[in-house]
Amino acid sequence: MADRKISALASLTSPATGDLIPVVDISEASNVNKNKTITFGTAFRALPDGTAGGPAIGFLSDNGTSGIFRTAANEVAFSNSSALTGKFTPTGFQLGDGTAAAQFHLFSTDTTDQVVIENTDAGLDTAPDLVLYRNSASPAQNDNLGNLEFRGENANDDPYTYAQILARIETTTDGSETGVLDLMASEAGTSASRIRLLGNRVGIGEAAPAFPLHVTTSLTSTALQIECNANDSASGADITLYHHRSDAAGQDADLISTLFFRGKNDAGTPADIDYAAIEASIVDASDTTEDGALKLEVQVAGTITTRIELNGANIGFFGAAAAAQSAHVADITTSASSGALPAANDTNTIADAAAPTNAELLQYCVTLEAKVEALLAFASAHGLMASS
C-alpha cells in the first residue's frame, strides 16, 4: 500500500479539470461530513467575490491588499493597496471608480496628465503614434473616420459637446485619395465646422474651399485683422505678397500680385465681377536698378481699366501712359514802372469785346495769371510737378 503521507505524495505538474482536491467543509457541523473533495476545475471557477481591501486573488508580498475581486454580476475588478483601480464590465473596461459608458472609460478627479503615450526610440521614425483606423469593407465618400469630442456641462447640468475634431473621406479613388478634417465649435447652441481642411485647401467658415485659403463670413464688419502689439516704432502687422519664379531670376513685366475687389452684377444669374483691382508688377529686374509698377484699376463700362499707374519714377492718370514728373514752372513776375497793377478779380467786365481798353485787358491778364499760379501751386504741392 502506497504511503499516504501528503508530503510524500508524487507531484502533479499538469492537473486536469477533473482531478480531485481534498477540502474540509467548515459549513458542516459533524466532523464525519467535513472531509470532501472538489475538482481542480471547480475550485478555480468558484472563487469568493472578495473586496477592494480583501481581493479574491491576492499577493502575499502585498499582504493580500492588491489583486482581483468581483464588484457586481459579470464584473471583474482590480485593486491596489485596498483601492479599486479599474474593472471589466459588460460595457467595457474602466479605470477609476464610476459607471462605464463606453468600451474604455477613464474616471478621475486628478488635474495632472491622465493619458500619456511614451516612446523612447532615438531614431527618425515617428513615435509614439496614435491611429484611429476605420477598417470599413465598403469605404465611400462622406464616411466619417473618427471624432474627438470635447464635452462639458451646460447651465442645465446636461452634457454638451462644445468642440470637436472630425475626420471623413472625400475621395476613395486609389492614388487620388482625399480627406477632410473639420475643427468644429459651438456658437449660440449650434455646432458647425469653423475651419475645414479639404485636401490641400483650407476653409474658414467655408464648407467647399476653392483656394489654398478661403474665408467666408456673413458678417459685414471686419473679417480679417492682423494685429501687432510690439512696443516700438518699427513697422508691424505687415502683409507681404511674395511671388517669385522658384529660385529663378525675376523678369521684366512679371506680374507679382493683384488685389481684387469682387462683387456680383445684376444679371438674371448674377456673375462674379472684379469691380476694382490693385496690380503690382516688375518693370525692370536689373540688379541694383530695379523698378516696379503699381496700377489702380476699376470697371469702366464692363472693362477693367487702369486709372492710375505708378511706374518706376513715372505716374499716369486716367489710363494715360505713365510719364515722368513735370519740371517746375516758375511763376510769372510782373511789375509796373509807374502806376499800380489791378488786383485779381474773379469777375471782369469788358464793355466792348471788339475794342477792349488797356485797363480791361490788364485786369483780365492779372486775374488769369493768378489762376495759373494757383494751378501750378496745386500741381507742385501734390507732386505732379517739381517744386523747384
Q: Please tell me the predicted confidence (pLDDT) of residue 3.
A: 56
Cβ–Cβ < 8 Å for 382, 325 = no
From the first residue on, what is the mean pLDDT of each consecutive set of 10 residues in the chain (388 residues)? 69 86 89 88 83 91 90 94 94 92 92 94 93 96 96 96 98 97 96 97 97 94 95 96 94 97 97 98 96 96 95 89 88 89 90 92 93 91 84
Calculate ∠ Cα 139-140-144, nearest 5°.
Answer: 85
Q: Has this prediction a pTM greater than 0.95?
A: no
All cell numbers assigned to 165: 475634431
Q: Letter for the amino acid at 206?
A: E
Report phi then psi at 33, rounded to 5. -100, 0
So what's the pLDDT on residue 1? 42
Alpha helices in 74-138 (DSSP H): none
Domain ranges of the chain: 12-106, 144-215, 255-324, 329-388
Going 265 to 267 to 272 to 278, the CA torsion angle's sign is negative
